[in-house]
Amino acid sequence: MNQADLSPVTAPVDLVEQEFENTFVQELPGDPVTANYPRAVRNACYTRVDPTPVPAPRPRTSLRERAVPNQPSPTSWSLPIVPFQVGLPALDLFPHAAWAKSVARQLRAETPEQLAYSDPAGLRALRVAIAEHLRASRAVRCVADQILIVPGSQAALRIAAATLLEPNDRVAVEEPGYFGAHRALRAAGAQLVPVPVDAEGLHVATLQRRGANIRAVYVTPSHQYPLGMTMSASRRFALLDWAARNDAWILEDDYDSEFRYVSRPVGALQGMDARDRVIYTGTFSKALFPAVRVGYVVVPPTLWTRFMQSRFAFDLFMPTLYQGALAEFLEEGHFARHLRRMRSAYLERRDALLRGLARHCGDLLSVSNSDAGLHVTVMLRDGIDDQDVAARLGRRGVATLALSSSYVGPTRRPGLLLGFGCAEPRRLLEATRVLGDVLTETVR
Ligand SMILES: Cc1ncc(COP(=O)(O)O)c(C=O)c1O
């Protein structure tokens, strides 16, 4: 069909929306008159045509874009607050009044200078407060001049990759591992090399066998995502040694290390690194709330200028309002108080989940490590389709992630990630009953 076949018509918008539902209309690309109209109005400017859909040729996009998996899809990413949702903290217990005061104070005190372009590294006061927190509670060796404020963990990985990696460089990842990291690294052009984990974390001997040309490894040593174990001291030393020998980088993601229920928190890998191989990343998404979109990177001093260049090229700098509020939140002790309260709330929620699993799911699953973090992973019997179980749970108001979506390679164990952070104990117990019902239907 050519453009001459289309003759402009006019019609009221509400009529148009009804009439043009399910109708295919050829759009005029770049039409200067209609380009900014809402879609329904734009459609209404042209007469109806043959509704046979003609598959549009796939627009030419980069190899990197095509390497990024489309599951879970970006549009599914605004997470409803329902039991077992993975990645959400206790938003019902967030100290909103104290936070609102900090934000309002920042807003009122803003000067014209603070409305201008700001430091790409982030607000000094926030970097000082984060450095202090990381030294005291995570044994990270750092000063404020090593800290870059970024909009979350994936951005941290993109900036690290832009600084340290060539397109097509091989990057080792834990198998299973964090799909957000897989996505960010693939989008940066990396070739992912899956390396298995066991009870001690990443299997460093396998990493060594996978070849000398691996340029970096992404790890979650404090709380392996998704299986939950802590990397042992001997593995940590072996990994640091491997990185130094191979001139490779370690991308350490310390995403939810604040919450540990059985023993004293284990320090960060970065604190054991005497040879500046570790790029340490953290986030406020779990300790506070995901919509804050504040994360940080601790950069070895020798790489600081290079990281600053990449960070500046990435998105100039972070909005300053929340940075200022967050600095005050940390300085005034609200953050430490919040973490203390959350540790006991999460312990109660985790225990409710474990009780419910024992009561309602019995021998239908086995629980992997539950010592830390905001979710528990359970293993299902071989042969069970965990994506199908997750979909059926979703239809009954319970949101889980299938363990199989955490793998890069073809061998995938079935299981489910059950978030316990965002729901009260009573709702978690109820959700375990639903899970038990769904699993019983599945194995019947
Ligand atoms: C392993 C891991 N790292 C980091 C994050 C947080 O990412 P962000 O800082 O982008 O919110 C998550 C969220 O679920 C995660 O599971």
User: Which atom of ligand 1 lies closest to the CA of 284?
Assistant: 9
Distance, in Å, from the CA atom of 18 to the CA atom of 296, rounded to the nearest integer, reads 48
- Considering only the C-alpha atoms of the chain, give the largest distance between any 2 of them, rounded to a whole number of Å: 74
Please determine, for residue 268, whether its predicted confidence score (pLDDT) is greater than 70.
yes
| 406 within ligand 1 shell (Cβ under 6 A) | no
Q: What is the mean pLDDT of residues 323-346?
A: 96
Closest atom of ligand 1 to CA, residue 220: 1
pLDDT at 3 over 60: no
pLDDT (tens digit per residue) in 367-408: 998 999 999 999 999 999 999 999 999 999 999 999 999 999
The pLDDT tens digits of the residues spanning 52-107 come to 777 888 888 988 888 887 777 776 667 789 999 999 999 999 999 999 999 999 99
- Over residues 147-167, mean pLDDT: 97
For a substitution probing ligand 1, which of 220, 230, 256, 318 has the most ligand atoms within 8 Å of its CB? 256
> Among 285, 377, 400, which is best to mutate for testing ligand 1, by the most ligand atoms less than 8 A from CB?
285
Q: Please choose from 182, 283, 294, 405 the residue to mutate so as to test ligand 1's pocket, defined by most ligand atoms within 8 A of CB.
A: 283
User: Which pLDDT tens digit goes with each residue over 300-325?
Assistant: 999 999 999 999 999 999 999 999 99
C-alpha of residue 155 to centroid of ligand 1, in Å:
11
Ligand 1 within 6 A of 221 CB?
no
Residue nearest to atom 2 of ligand 1 (CA): 255
Q: What's the gap in Å between 239 CA and the centre of ligand 1?
A: 22
Confidence of residue 39 (pLDDT cuts 50, 70, 90): low
Q: What is the pLDDT of residues 177-220, one digit of tens each?
A: 999 999 999 999 999 999 999 999 999 999 999 877 999 999 99
pLDDT score of 23: 35
- Structure confidence by residue, pLDDT tens digits, 277-289: 999 999 999 999 9
Query: Which atom of ligand 1 is closest in space to residue 290's alpha carbon?
Result: 11
Residue whose CA is at the smallest distance from ligand 1 atom 5: 255
